[in-house]
Amino acid sequence: MNAFNTYAKVKQEKKKPTMLGKVSGKFDFTFDDQTAIKFVPFFFFLTFLGLIYIGNNYYADRLSRKVSVLEKEVNKLRVDYGSRKYEFINLSKYKEIANKVRGIGLTENREPVTRLEFHKKDK
C-alpha cells in the first residue's frame, strides 16, 4: 500500500476587511531600483499620451477659431447674395428695362410681330 502523508490545511480566521484594508492590501509594495526600472516604459507611454492630448486640444481650439471665422464670412456673403438677388430681380423687370433703353433711343414696338417666310426653289 502506498501511503502518503497529507497535512491538514490550517483554516485561517477571516477578518472582516475594512475599506482602507482593501485598498492598502492592493497597493502594498516597496519602491526600489528594480520597481522603478520596471515602470519607466509605462511612464514614457503616459507622457506620450499626455503630449498627444495637449496637441489635440491646441488643434481643436485652432480649428474652432477657423470655423467661427468662416461662419461669420458665410453670413456676410449670405446677406450680400440676398441684396444682389433682390437688385437683379428688380432690374430685370420689364418696366425697368424699358426705362433704361429709352435713354439711348430705343422704343417699345407697338405693332404685332411679322413673320418672314422664305421658300426654296426646286432645281
pLDDT at residue 23 greater than cutoff 60: no
Q: How much is the average pLDDT of 36-54? A: 93
Residue 93 φ/ψ, nearest 5 degrees: -70, 150
pLDDT at residue 2, rounded to an integer: 63
- In the numeric block, the cell 444682389 is attached to 84
d(CA 86, CA 93): 11
Which residues are within 8 A (CB) of 35 and not within 5 positions of it... i.e. 6 or more apart? 29
pLDDT at residue 24 greater than cutoff 60: no
- 3-class SS of residue 4: coil
- In the numeric block, the cell 520596471 is attached to 38
pLDDT at residue 18, rounded to an integer: 58
pLDDT at residue 90, rounded to an integer: 85
pLDDT confidence bin for 39, thresholds 50/70/90: confident
Q: How far, in Å, are 33, 52, 58, 111 from residue 46 at the CA level?
A: 20, 10, 19, 89
Dump pLDDT digits (tens) for 49-101.
999 999 999 999 999 999 999 999 999 999 999 999 999 988 888 888 888 88
Output b/e per residue, 102-119; b: 16+ Cβ within 10 A.
eeeeeeeeeeeeeeeeee
pLDDT at residue 111, rounded to an integer: 86
Among the ranges given (32-36, 78-82, 100-104, 116-120), the one the predictor scored with the smallest mean pLDDT: 32-36
